[in-house]
């Protein structure tokens, strides 16, 4: 098991996955619950709110560059969402998704983001527990300080068709964020960097759920 000490700084100014789906439109009001019931830890974030919660390049540490995946978010069409009373097996528990990738300085790997917003905290919590119970094959758990409401991290060694990586899954309210540091062996501090970025992402999600413009950055 890998061990990582706490103490990394994140400055503030002022996660079941799935495939991409067609954009439905504006969806719920950004940062508000379905039905406009206010903001807080139980807020459901639509695609526009997730897009704002994802870090832009200005939020990243100096020297990072835009990667292959551009900052993007999409709503799951209403007709494909799972109703609370149950539904077809192919319905989606997630209501919106967001992705982006940034490349670390000096060709020292890259980090992929994948955000999934759920209809409430209970569903998001269940999805997180399912992820925790399905440990990736050949992966080892990385001990890190808790980020958000709950978090976990795994390191995957080099494989026949994959470079080594470290992934951290974080739940903040109704959202699960998965950050994966690809080619992690290129940076001896990759685990520390990933933790710092995850802490920033958690702060940005919390700000979005409170109805604020996300401003958290990673130094």
For 13-67, how does the pLDDT look when each residue is reduced to its tens digit (9 = 90+)? 333 333 333 333 333 333 333 333 346 777 899 999 999 999 999 999 999 999 9
Sequence-distant (6+) residues with CB within 8 A of 217 are 10, 11, 12, 13, 55, 58, 59, 60, 200
Give the tens place of pLDDT for each residue, 92-116. Answer: 889 999 999 999 999 999 999 999 9
CB contact at 8 A, 195 and 144? yes
Q: Other CB atoms closer than 10 Å to residue 16's CB: what's the count?
A: 16
- What does the block give as tokens for 35? 């039905």
Residue 158 half-sphere exposure toward CB, CA atoms < 13 A: 5
As a whole number, mean pLDDT of residues 67-96 equals 86
Give the position of tokens 């990736």: 136
- What does the block give as tokens for 115? 């955000």
Which of 60-64, 82-86, 92-96, 133-137 has maximum average pLDDT?
Answer: 60-64
Which of 27-36, 65-74, 77-86 has maximum average pLDDT?
Answer: 65-74
> Which of helix, strand or coil describes residue 216?
strand
Which H/E stretch holds residue 111? strand 110-117
How confident is the model at residue 164, as a pLDDT? Answer: 86
List the beta bridge partners of residue 156: 165
| Angstrom distance (rounded) from CA 50 to CA 30 | 8
| Angstrom distance (rounded) from CA 64 to CA 73 | 21
């Amino acid at each position: 098991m890998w061990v990582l000490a706490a103490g990394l700084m994140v400055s503030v100014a002022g996660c079941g996955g799935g495939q991409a789906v067609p954009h439905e439109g504006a969806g719920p009001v950004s940062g508000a619950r379905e039905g406009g019931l206010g903001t807080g830890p139980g807020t459901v974030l639509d695609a526009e709110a997730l897009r704002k919660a994802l870090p832009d390049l200005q939020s990243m540490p100096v020297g990072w560059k835009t990667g292959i995946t551009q900052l993007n978010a999409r709503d799951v069409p209403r007709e494909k969402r799972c109703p609370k009373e149950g539904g077809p097996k192919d319905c989606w528990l997630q209501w919106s998704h967001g992705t982006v990738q940034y490349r670390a300085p000096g060709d020292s790997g890259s980090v992929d983001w994948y955000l999934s917003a759920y209809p409430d905290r209970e569903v998001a919590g269940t999805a997180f527990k399912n992820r925790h119970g399905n440990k990736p094959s050949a992966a080892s758990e990385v001990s890190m300080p808790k980020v958000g409401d709950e978090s976990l991290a795994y390191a995957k060694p080099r494989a026949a068709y994959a470079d080594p990586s470290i992934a951290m899954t974080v739940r903040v309210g109704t959202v699960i964020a998965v950050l994966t540091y690809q080619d992690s062996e290129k940076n001896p501090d990759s685990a520390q960097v990933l933790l710092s970025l995850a802490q920033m992402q958690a702060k940005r999600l919390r700000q979005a759920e409170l109805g604020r413009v996300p401003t958290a950055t990673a130094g």
